[in-house]
Structure 1
Amino acid sequence: MVNRGVPEKREGTGEEAEISASQRGESRDYVLDEQVGFILRQVQQRHAALFTTRVGGDLTPTQWAVLAKLAEVGGMSQNLLGRQTAMDNVTIKGVVERLVKRGLLVTRRDPADPRRFSISLSPAGSAVYAERVGPAREVTRETLEPLDSEERDALLRLLSKLR
């Protein structure tokens, strides 16, 4: 039974507060635990925690994405690198600046267009990539571990459709 408008004492707080019907769990038309964004965020948080533990706290997932993409395809412009790693211009600029400062990336003028710089891994960046690609693979494996092979393939296929 709902006592609308009647203050109800909240357990353990010593405070009196009015609790609406939706706060009592009477509204089931929007259940947070069933929302795709909430579920994706929880999975991402688990994945990020694994990443920090396995790959190292000195590299963020966005920094790792830059190193991994450059190791995969080679040097490219900052603009293209941002698009390839799903980062906006401000984010990719900051990530590149931090990685250059750490000596993991180098920038060179693009011979085809002197107004543009090409970004690539430095020897130190290549070494960091080589050292951490195994743990990064392990993070992916561990994130997907609760799923069987068919479920993993289906999940990755479906998530790719949502990009």
Structure 2
Amino acid sequence: MTDAAEQNENAYQLDDQVGYLLRLASQRHATIFQSRTLNGLTPTQFGALLRISEQGQCSQNHLGRLAAMDVATIKGVVDRLRQKGLTLAESDPNDKRRTLISLSPEGEEMVRQMAEVGHAITAETLKPLTAAEQRNLIKILRKIS
């Protein structure tokens, strides 16, 4: 093998890089999500609503950890969800510095509606894969997350 051929073989190929491929997959999924979402929810807002639904009333800080969002991000997400009427916020009776977040009745309904939509979004995102590939992809993503 010539030096040029060897260098070409070892060259950094963007199309083979995990970060690049994950970003492309994420952009595809985001496009699908935005085409089907209700009430203009973003994936991070939907994730926060689901975590509140699973957890019940919780502090904003705890919600951020549950939803894998930093302090600034979860604050913005919670503010936008409150503006949409999907969450309620109240002071913690045991610690007035802490805010407790819960779903409003509209938020509970949105979670019910979006659960079905979420299944359709996932199905469309994974559509190019066989059932076995879909299971493997989910397993691998969980492993590297």
TM-score, normalised to structure 2's length? Answer: 0.86
TM-fit CA distance, 1:41: 0.7
- Map residues 118-129 of structure 1 onto 2, 5 A cutoff: 118-129=100-111
Q: Percent identity?
A: 45
Of 12, 25, 33, the residue aligned with 1:43 is: 25
**Unpaired segments ≥5 residues, structure 2:** 1-6
Runs of 4+ that moved beyond 4 A: none
Separation (CA, whole Å) in 2 of partners of 1:157 and 1:111: 41
Q: Report the TM-score when normalising by structure 1.
A: 0.77
More helix by share: 2
1:38 CA displacement? 0.7
DSSP-derived class of the 2:138 partner: helix
**Displacement, 1:36?**
0.4
Q: In the superposition, relative to structure 1, how do residues 56 and 124 fare at CA in structure 2: closer, same or farther (>3 Å)?
A: closer
For 2:141, the equivalent position in structure 1 comes to 159
- Indicate the SS of the match to 1:41: helix
Largest Rg, 1 or 2? 1
Tell me what 1:149 maps to: 131
Name the structure, 1 or 2, with higher relative contact order (CA <8 Å, separation 6+). Answer: 2
Cα RMSD after superposing both structures: 1.9
Distance in 2 of aligned mates of 1:139 and 1:59: 13
Match of 1:106 in 2: 88
Aligned match of 1:84: 66
